């Protein structure tokens, strides 16, 4: 398969691993890259030496292109991004913040930068300051898609930007890939589909649930992590959304985050307060959400664990290896195209 994304990134297939915390680990990243896609390391749960060690582990596992993300709203994200630049990571993906400085630094060593966006305004801004591509996250996606579905979002961006578009939200098979390309995308990012593969570190309980659940079995709310967020419909997720903003729990959970990202708690606490009331509330929401997501992904916890997942879970019926999945999708694309041409004729 050859698209602007495969040419830009030097990959075989226009398939990208979404950067999912506790799932997009070095081994998972390498598995995707070795299979011909682009693996993206999730740096949200990492800090400092952990980020550097993770990049070096990926390089020991693959000689193929790979990427890493930086969610700029998170504590320690700027420092993580600076490490990615120091390590000359081939592709950097940023979200929830302004990444013009990342673009400038990455381009100085020949790196590529992909901005994650949910609307045309942010896509045009990313193009203006030199991003090489965008990941367009539709409503169907796990976690932070906004109200507009991929069916409408992708062509709306294709009408106003010239850089390649990687469609995220609703993609798990060849039908989705062909649809995305027809809408104006140049590739697809897959999170929910790839987290249910043999190499994925997602706890087996939630892999099994991803196969059992239907397209209707997700919840979409601001009350989980403060942003519009889609998660698997479970008892624990319903309770978490019902409780909503829990500042006292956030204080307790933020201590764990400070330890995890290697930031002194007092420094983290003062930084959150100094960021303003709105940001402080957002980060408090995320402190609680981070714990719930980690409990689900790592421990398979059903009492407090909550798993971000997309509506496309209802199209997942097996747990293949990444390589087998990519080969299957690539082979099926030709059949889908043939059926489409027959219908059009």
CATH at residue 325: 3.20.20.70
Residues 250 and 295 both lie in one domain = yes
Structure tokens at 322: 């990444």
Does residue 21 fall inside a structural domain?
Answer: yes
pLDDT(261) > 60: no
Considering only residues 267 and 52, tell me which one the structure prediction assigns the higher pLDDT.
52
Q: Is residue 309 part of a domain?
A: no
Q: pLDDT digit string (tens) for 104-125?
A: 999 999 999 999 999 999 999 9
Give yes or no: residues 224 and 182 share one domain.
no
Q: Identify the pLDDT of residue 273.
A: 47
177 and 325 assigned to the same domain: yes
Same structural domain, 174 and 275: no
Query: What whole-number distance in Å separates Cα of residue 78 and Cα of residue 92?
Result: 12
Cα distances (angstroms) measured from residue 197 to each of 23, 56, 90, 180, 208:
11, 23, 25, 22, 11
Higher pLDDT, 126 or 248: 126
> Does the structure show a pLDDT above 60 at 252?
no
| Phi, psi torsion values for 53, nearest 5 degrees | -65, -40
Length of the chain, in residues: 345
pLDDT for residue 156 is more than 60: yes
Confidence of residue 74 (pLDDT cuts 50, 70, 90): confident
> Are 267 and 326 part of one and the same domain?
no
Q: Is residue 313 part of a domain?
A: no
Does a structural domain hold residue 68?
Answer: yes
- What pLDDT band is residue 275 in, cutting at 50, 70 and 90? low
In the sheet with 112-117, reading across from the earlier edge strand, the strands are 15-17, 187-190, 165-168, 133-137, 112-117, 91-95, 66-71, 39-41
Q: Judge contact between 174 and 333, C-beta under 8 A.
A: yes
Looking at the structure, do residues 287 and 166 belong to the same domain, yes or no? no
Q: What is the pLDDT of residue 130?
A: 97
Higher pLDDT, 11 or 273: 11
Domain of 241, in residue numbers: 214-299
Domain presence at residue 51: yes
| Residue 311 domain flag | no
Over residues 13-30, the mean pLDDT reads 97
Whether residue 244 sits in one domain with residue 126:
no
- Looking at the structure, tell me whether residues 159 and 252 fall in a common domain: no
- Total structural domains within the chain: 2
Q: What is the pLDDT of residue 289?
A: 85
CB under 8 Å, gap of 24 or more: what pairs does 183-187 form? 183/150, 183/151, 183/154, 183/155, 183/158, 184/154, 184/155, 184/157, 184/158, 184/159, 185/136, 185/154, 185/158, 186/3, 186/4, 186/5, 186/14, 186/133, 187/3, 187/5, 187/6, 187/14, 187/15, 187/16
Where b means 16+ CB within 10 Å and e means fewer, 182-209 reads ebbbbbbbbbbbbbbbebbebbeebbeb
Say yes or no: 24 and 67 in one domain: yes
Q: Is residue 308 part of a domain?
A: no
Looking at residue 270, what is its pLDDT?
46
Give the pLDDT band of residue 1 (cuts 50, 70, 90).
Answer: confident
Helix axis angle, 247-260 relative to 265-274, nearest 10°?
Answer: 130
- Whether residues 12 and 55 share a domain: the answer is yes
The chain-wide mean pLDDT, for the chain, equals 91
Rounded mean pLDDT, 65-90: 92
- Domain co-membership, 84 together with 196: yes
Token pair for 59: 């390089």
Q: Is the pTM of this model over 0.85?
A: yes
| Domain-located, residue 8 | yes
Is residue 158 located within the same domain as residue 235? no
Reply yes or no on whether the pLDDT at 59 is more than 70.
Answer: yes
Q: What is the DSSP string of 276-327?
A: -HHHHHHHHHHHHHHHHHHHHHHH--SSS---B--GGGGG------HHHHHH
C-alpha–C-alpha distance, residues 202 and 12, integer Å: 25
């Amino acid at each position: 398969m050859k698209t602007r994304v495969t040419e830009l990134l030097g990959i075989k297939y226009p398939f990208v691993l979404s950067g999912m915390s506790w799932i997009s680990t070095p081994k998972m990243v390498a598995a995707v890259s070795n299979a011909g896609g682009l693996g993206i390391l999730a740096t949200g749960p990492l800090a400092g030496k952990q980020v550097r060690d993770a990049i070096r582990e990926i390089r020991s596992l693959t000689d193929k292109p790979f990427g890493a993300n930086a969610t700029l709203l998170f504590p320690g994200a700027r420092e993580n991004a600076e490490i990615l630049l120091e390590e000359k990571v081939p592709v950097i993906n940023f979200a929830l913040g302004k990444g013009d400085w990342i673009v400038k630094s990455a381009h100085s060593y020949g790196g590529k930068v992909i901005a994650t966006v949910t609307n045309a305004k942010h896509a045009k801004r990313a193009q203006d300051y030199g991003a090489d591509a965008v990941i367009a996250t539709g409503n169907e996606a796990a976690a932070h898609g906004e109200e507009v579905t991929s069916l409408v979002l992708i062509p709306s961006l294709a009408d106003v930007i010239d850089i390649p578009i990687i469609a995220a939200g609703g993609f798990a098979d060849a039908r989705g890939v062909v649809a995305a390309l027809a809408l104006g995308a140049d590739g697809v990012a897959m999170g929910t589909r790839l987290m249910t593969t043999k190499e994925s570190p997602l706890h087996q309980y939630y892999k099994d649930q991803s196969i059992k659940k239907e397209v209707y079995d997700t919840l979409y709310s601001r009350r989980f992590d403060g942003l519009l967020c889609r998660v698997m419909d479970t008892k624990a997720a319903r309770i978490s959304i019902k409780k909503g903003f829990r500042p006292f729990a956030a204080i307790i959970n933020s201590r764990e985050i400070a330890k995890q990202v290697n930031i002194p708690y007092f420094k983290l606490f003062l930084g959150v307060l100094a960021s303003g009331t709105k940001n402080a509330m957002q980060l408090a929401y995320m402190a609680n959400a981070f714990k719930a997501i980690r409990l689900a992904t790592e421990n398979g916890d059903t009492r407090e664990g909550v798993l971000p997942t997309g509506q496309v879970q209802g199209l997942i019926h097996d747990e293949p290896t990444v390589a087998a999945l990519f080969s299957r999708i690539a082979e099926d694309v030709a059949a889908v195209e043939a059926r489409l041409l027959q219908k059009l004729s």
